Amino acid sequence: MQNRLKARYNKDPNFTNLIAGIWEEYVAGDYNHDYSLDVKGRGAF
């Protein structure tokens, strides 16, 4: 059983990198995106 656990759970916790990556993307990114939902296109949801 311990071998299974070792094989399955052998990755380091990654929240630090995950949140840092999202922030870096935000700082570097183009956030002048048109966020308005096209109400006429509701059927697309």
Partner 1 sequence: MQTPNKILWIAAGNQENESLVSLFSSLVKQVPWNCTNLLITNAANWRTFYGETYKVTVDKEEDHSLVARYRQVVLAAYHENVLEDADIIVTGGMTAVMLIYMLTHGSSGIKLRNKPIVYVSPKVPEKEVAEFPIEGYEESMFWWMVGNMPNVHAVVLDNDTEYEMADKKLFRVCPNSNKKIRRLVLWKYEPLDGLPEKADKVVWSGRWNSIKKPDIATRIMAVLSGRGIDVEFFIPTISGSKRRSLTHIKETFQRVYVGLDSQEYRKEAGNAKVLLITSEVEGQPLGYLELLELGVVPVIRKRPWMKTFMGEGWPLVYTNEGEAVELCIEAMRTMINIWP
Contact between 8 and partner 1 by CB under 8 A: the answer reads yes
Shortest spacing between CB 40 and partner 1, in angstroms: 14
Of residues 29, 45, 27, 26, the one with CA closest to residue 37: 45
If one asks whether residue 11 binds partner 1 (CB under 8 A), the answer comes out as yes
Q: Is 40 in the site for partner 1 (CB under 8 A)?
A: no
Binding site for partner 1 (CB under 8 A): 1-16, 18-20, 22-27, 29-31, 33, 35-37, 44-45
